[in-house]
Structures are given as C-alpha cells and as structure tokens.
Amino acid sequence: MRMRVSKLVTIERHIAEEEHAHKGASGEFSRLMRDMLLAIRLISRDVRRAGLNDVLGITDGTNVHGEQVKKLDMLAHDTIFRAMDHGGHLCVMASEESEELIMIPPEYARGKYVLLFDPLDGSSNIDVNVTIGTIFSIYHRVTPDYVGDGTLEDVLQPGSRQIAAGYVCYGSSTQLVYTTGNGVDIFTYDPTIGEFLLSDEKIQMPNRGKCYSVNEGNSSKWDDNLKKYIDYLKTPSADKRRPYSLRYVGTSIADLHRTIMYGGIFMYPADKSNPKGKLRMMYECNPLAMIVEQAGGMASDGVHRILDKRPGSIHERSPLFIGSKDDVLEAEAFLRGEFPPGGEEA
C-alpha cells in the first residue's frame, strides 16, 4: 500500500529526525548517511548521462565472482569508496566488486560502523539502458576496539543485525528505498535541486500478488519441487487467482521494487550448476530481506529466514525467495514437497 506524502521532507532531515528520536544519539549516523548520499547522487548523475560520458562497456578485469567488470561497476565502486573512506564513521567496508575487505586508509580515523555494498546491481543491463541499482547495508562494529581496523568478524554478521539498509533504483526516476528498522520510506531524487524528497511513507506490500519473477531459462536445472511450484503459478485456477504473470528484468533491485509495490514473488533459486543460487548474501539478500520484512513481506532461502543465516564468507551466495508473505510461504511449502498447499487442486 502506497502512502503518498504531501509534506516536503528531504532525506537528510528525515535521517536527522529519526536519529534524534534515539536517546544519546551523537549524530554520527546522520553524517555517515550524508556521505553515502553524496556517493549516490554522483552515481545517479553518471548513470543518467551514460552514453554521453564514456562509462558504458567493460574494463579489462573480472571480479571475484569470475564476472566481467563493467566500467560503471568500477566507477560506482570507486565513488562509494572515495565518499566513505575519510569520514571517520567506518571501521571497514566490503563490496561485491572487491575480493578482500576494504580497509580504511591509515591516515583517516576509524569509526563504529561497517558498510557493505553492491555498487551497481544489474550489470548485464547497464549497456542497454535498462534499470540498474545500488544496494547498501550498515552494521555496528562488533569488535570492541573502537580505534582499530574493523575485521572479518565485523563484516560477517547475520542480516538481523543490520541497523540500516537501502537500495537505489535508477529507473524512470532515481528512488532510494530506505529503512532503519522503523518501516520503509521511499525518497525520489529531484536532480534540479539535488535532493532526495520523501515520496512514499511507511510502505506496506500486499500479502499476495499476481506476478512471479525468476530466470526461467534455468528451469532444466531446477529440482522437481521448484518446477511444480512454477507450473502451479502458471496454471489457471477456478477462483482466477492464477495464472500469475511473469515479469523478469534481470536486475534484482528492479524485480524486487516491482514486487514490493505490486506484490508477488521474486526468486533466484539454487540449481544444479549453482547449488547456492547466484545472489550474494551480504550485498544483496540481507539488505533486500530487511527492507521486505519492514514492508510486511518475507524473505527466505526456501527453508530458512534470510536474516537469521550466519554468513561464512563475505562473498557467500544464497538462494532467495522474497516478496509477499503468502507467496513466499506457498513457495516454501512446495519446496518441502507439500503441494498443492492446503489440498488445493493445482
């Protein structure tokens, strides 16, 4: 459900007000987010001018996942690093585009927060002018030494410990979808004034939708229960609840954003070639799961709640079933072999 707002509120004011509501807050989180918003505005500018500014195409390298790195992937990664390395708020960062942890340069102070990010999500869509995004996730550091470098232990926290998560969708407009665990708000970027303004407040997604979103080109590698679930969604039902429509952009941000607004389910399941699916737990699954839960939806790996999973490494992958509660519960039931759910005729 959309709660459109008429009051004019910038994201900076929103963040400062949320922080003031916490007793004893020092303002450090607001300053951290101010730096992050600068990076986002710069990336948005570069994305909006792609085609004019030599950011399309590939670099010479591949990343830790063996994928070709696009110029815009690298530019977005560097922009976030340059905005965040010197503020004194972070003790360590990790990025989908960097094999190792990203340490704070020795000349700058360390702080109490940890930043994880996917600088440019949907890389395969960059060169064809289709929606792409940026995803980020913030944690408190857990190592007690507040002046030293952050460690792997600070980064490998379960998603339930995130203190903030957000994604930016470079679509028909640039929108930032953001939560600190107090509901989900959407801010739309007005490039003429350089501000993100609150456009939808405390959004709640439908309990069920009519769209499913999955790369069905992989279906020959799926297990039988998943195949049965997808067939079920496509089979007309007497109550007209099915068939579902298929929508698949191939950018998780875009597929998820539509799912949040209209309801339904977005999946990147495991398959025979990718036993843990494709999406990365730390940079994609966890922040998206926090946002969806805050909007009244659900995120699962097919069996377990995403936010409860304990990551073993920074680039670990996880299957993802995310979206409207009833749709995700139904997917889980199928994956357990309980189909059709409730004895309903498929």
Which residues form the interface with ligand AHM (CB under 6 A)?
Answer: 67, 96, 118, 121-124, 215, 250-252, 268, 278
Question: How far out from the chain centre does Cα 112 lie?
Answer: 22
Minimum gap (Å) between residue 17 Cβ and ligand AHM: 32
Q: Which does 268 bind (CB under 5 to 8 A by kind): Mg ion, ligand AHM, none?
A: ligand AHM
Minimum Å gap between C-beta 221 and Mg ion is: 21
Q: How many CB atoms lie within 10 A of CB 19?
A: 17
Residue 154 interacting entry, from Mg ion, ligand AHM, none, C-beta within 5 to 8 Å by type: none
**Is residue 73 close enough to count as binding Mg ion by CB under 5 A?**
no
CA 242 remoteness from chain centre: 28
Residue 97 makes contact with Mg ion by CB under 5 A: no
Q: Nearest-CA neighbor of 203 among 188, 184, 189, 187?
A: 184
Part in contact with Mg ion (CB under 5 A); list of ranges 31-39, 72-80, 111-119, 299-307: 111-119
* Partner whose binding site includes residue 232, from Mg ion, ligand AHM, none (CB under 5 to 8 Å by kind): none
Give SS3 for 49. Answer: coil
Q: Which does 210 bind (CB under 5 to 8 A by kind): Mg ion, ligand AHM, none?
A: none
Dihedral angle of Cα 270, 272, 274, 278, to the nearest 10 degrees: -40
Distance of alpha carbon 205 from alpha carbon 187, whole angstroms: 17
Choose among ligand AHM, Mg ion, none what residue 215 binds, the Cβ cut-off being 5 to 8 Å by kind. ligand AHM
What tokens were used for 138? 């913030």
Closer residue to ligand AHM in complex, CB, 35/118: 118
> Do residues 339 and 346 lie in contact, with contact meaning Cβ atoms separated by under 8 Å?
yes
From the list 18, 121, 185, 293, which residue makes contact with Mg ion (rule: CB under 5 A)?
A: 121
Only one of the segments 18-26, 61-69, 76-84, 116-124 lies at the binding site for Mg ion (rule: CB under 5 A); that segment is: 116-124
Q: Which two tokens stand for residue 214?
A: 């999955």
Closest listed residue to residue 267, CA positions, set 324, 314, 308, 315: 324
Residues near Mg ion (CB under 5 A): 118, 121
